[in-house]
Structure 1
């Protein structure tokens, strides 16, 4: 969505952010925090004439303790830059996104970004050790702890992780970076049904256990998209479903032995029809490209209706089938891919240009379907402006009521990212 603003401010320090918010709060001027602006639900876009506070110049890495693995940095640091920095110390960032070349860590935290390896490293609620946040009145909340254990009072940082800038502006981050794996392997497998995909996942948890770092699904329609629009090719023949499994560990021989034994079991039992394994960086990158470049491939069709939901695994692919039956004739394609390891489905529909009749087929049907399965209408993209009025599909009235009370308590003048996350009522 396009936004409108007459003023964009680019502070370099927390004190400057504090002065801006104090000034705006006293005059009841609305503001929108903006990082890399890579979000998909309009969370960082000014709706009317809000002042944009960009964290682009707040890009200093403050410290890195290579013994504990704790990184402290400003909120405007680009994720890929941080990955490069910690990699020199044999560490890795605990999450990985397709937009890592431009997204900011502050925005990642504000939206509780998930990414490709949540299965291995968990969510940001577990990785973030501390935050520095500027409140609506300009007060600086210093919770920038570097301790892994600190059981003293309310753990306030969790209020701001996933709050989409509606409770405060994140300016500093303390995050735990795990050891960089010495050995990485990727298996790319073909399955003849989604039930076989689930069988493969169950076996992977049992047999790969501690070295399993990613389990991704690509359906046949997704594979056709990257073939047609990007001229990419699959390393195996055509199947209804493809599974990308990544393992990472400290001992290459041990990991390869476990992966080979796992794949042998899948083939012998008929769970998987065919597959290939990559251990060289170039081949690994090529296989990951089939998954990570799907968003790019979809853009070639024209207009993309993108949805990000969490579902019980038993219902995971059912939504794709339901939307294909409901809207397929009106679209170029309906595809489903995503993180089976954490139940996060990315559902995408395309048309040559935006069509309201197609949107009417999608919404609110998709949210009703997800709610009926006790899923979440947003797994990792947040609610922003586009999904805020559908929050009751995933949260109870009492929960939303408490959120509103917290918002009013911390931002009584309503200047922080208005019209976002909380419903219009």
Structure 2
């Protein structure tokens, strides 16, 4: 019976955090340099005198050199990439970051800036022996203007902590990610993260008011303004949003926080086809309008695998596709009325086959937990090839069908889920273990398919280490040359996050 679980979804404790997953996978990934055949560039080699300098600058306790301590910082959370760094530095101030970069630039020591290390394309871990600058100790909230909503903080602040702080002041962070309990705002800015509520609150280019960043030579760039409008010359903050630490290292952020919604509703629905998903999205935009904050899709394999691997409970039956619809508004009666009319119409039309709707916080967390755990749950099944692309909505799910046909002779699972509102689909290909054969079948094939549809090979996780050789599928040669020119001006010695974002000209 439709909506038999209405307002009765049991609370599901989140059982799968990134750190817990890291501990459960004991097999170390192959070194990135060997796995992907990368040659080390002509950077300096770390010496004892360098370590002593760092210790004198920021104290011995914040300079890690023991191999066992270094290992977690050298590996990304999906166990795809593994670097060989010999030192991790944990600065507490922008001035310390400035001195570190100045010294590394003079010594030609390559640097890898690192936030929460929740990336999916190897951008936050070294490839060779780069000096890791980890920002976990730069975690102060500096100020918040409760009138304008402008919040200023250091780059190492964890996104969930910022959101909790904002909520105490009747504000929210405009960004919400499944990794919010681990990711840091500086990394979010550097990768131009999208998230589940981009549909309502926009992308980071619009919500970031200003940044403070440090160039490769140690120069501190102060663009830390809290004005919504500032048309004085070049918008320099945008150089650092999405550049993944290759042009400069973000140390502070000013971000626009929307008002805390007074009315929040979440629906979880079963639908019969992807065409029904698209029709439901069109209807939701028309019927819910300004209160529509998220529209997520997941196929049956995404939800089924997550529920099985993490021993969760699916609050509705099994269906080919699932949709999550969330609303944010200021008037509970108004929002409930709009949502009720929308649900009544689409139940009658047959687009919604089954579902549950709730306004209770713990129950909403239970449902979101299923959606946000999809990526982590896949790691229980073996090795995961993970792709984050954007394509026009008409071609959104076609990639999954194409990949299933291409990999039909391979022992694997292929499934898709993501943010329908901005055309961003996440595709997981899970195999028992890493296979060069599967890798060869997937890349560059998937990016060629994305290019055919005039999509983007990276929707929200950046280019990182995994995608520079494929960036030409999204950027033409004139654009790439301009990017190289900017890199040369900002970082002439190329020490900032090398092997990332830009392909070698050769």
* TM-score, scaled relative to structure 1: 0.98
1:169 corresponds, among 245, 249, 273, to 249
**d(CA) in 2 for partners of 1:219, 1:340:** 12
SS of residue in 2 equivalent to 1:382: coil
Q: How many pairs were matched up?
A: 425
SS of residue in 1 equivalent to 2:381: coil
**d(CA) in 2 for partners of 1:104, 1:285:** 21
**d(CA) in 2 for partners of 1:389, 1:331:** 27
Partner of 1:261: 341
Partner of 2:355: 275
2:182 corresponds, among 78, 84, 102, to 102
Partner of 2:37: none
Partner of 2:481: 401
RMSD: 1.0
Partner of 2:284: 204
Is residue 331–residue 349 contact of structure 1 (8 Å, CA) maintained in 2? Answer: no
Matches within 5 A, 1:192-271: 192-271=272-351
SS of residue in 1 equivalent to 2:425: strand
Partner of 2:378: 298
1:180 corresponds, among 256, 260, 263, to 260
**d(CA) in 2 for partners of 1:340, 1:421:** 26
**d(CA) in 2 for partners of 1:228, 1:359:** 26
**d(CA) in 1 for partners of 2:409, 2:321:** 22
**d(CA) in 2 for partners of 1:189, 1:94:** 25
**What are structure 1's unaligned runs of at least 5 residues?**
none
Please tell me whether residue 112 in structure 1 is matched to residue 192 in structure 2: yes
**d(CA) in 1 for partners of 2:321, 2:184:** 33
Matches within 5 A, 1:273-422: 273-422=353-502
**d(CA) in 1 for partners of 2:376, 2:173:** 24
Greater mean alpha carbon deviation, residues 17-26 or residues 209-218: 17-26
286 and 329 in structure 1: CA distance in 2 versus 1, 3 angstrom threshold:
farther
Please tell me whether residue 93 in structure 1 is matched to residue 168 in structure 2: no
**What are structure 2's unaligned runs of at least 5 residues?**
1-80
TM-superposed deviation, 1:55: 1.0
Partner of 1:29: 109
Greater mean alpha carbon deviation, residues 171-180 or residues 49-58: 49-58
Partner of 2:61: none
* TM-score, scaled relative to structure 2: 0.83
Greater mean alpha carbon deviation, residues 127-136 or residues 219-228: 219-228
* Deviations 1:119-169 (CA, angstroms, capped at 9, x unpaired): 011100001000001111111110000111111111100111000000001
Is residue 328–residue 334 contact of structure 1 (8 Å, CA) maintained in 2? Answer: no
Please tell me whether residue 8 in structure 1 is matched to residue 92 in structure 2: no
**d(CA) in 2 for partners of 1:72, 1:282:** 29
1:160 corresponds, among 228, 240, 243, to 240
* Deviations 1:178-210 (CA, angstroms, capped at 9, x unpaired): 011111111112211111110000000001011
TM-superposed deviation, 1:325: 1.1
TM-superposed deviation, 1:391: 0.3
**d(CA) in 2 for partners of 1:229, 1:146:** 44
**d(CA) in 2 for partners of 1:158, 1:346:** 25
TM-superposed deviation, 1:269: 2.0
* Deviations 1:4-35 (CA, angstroms, capped at 9, x unpaired): 11121111111111111111112221111111
Partner of 1:58: 138
2:217 corresponds, among 137, 141, 162, to 137
Greater mean alpha carbon deviation, residues 83-92 or residues 231-240: 231-240
TM-superposed deviation, 1:289: 1.8
**d(CA) in 2 for partners of 1:83, 1:99:** 13
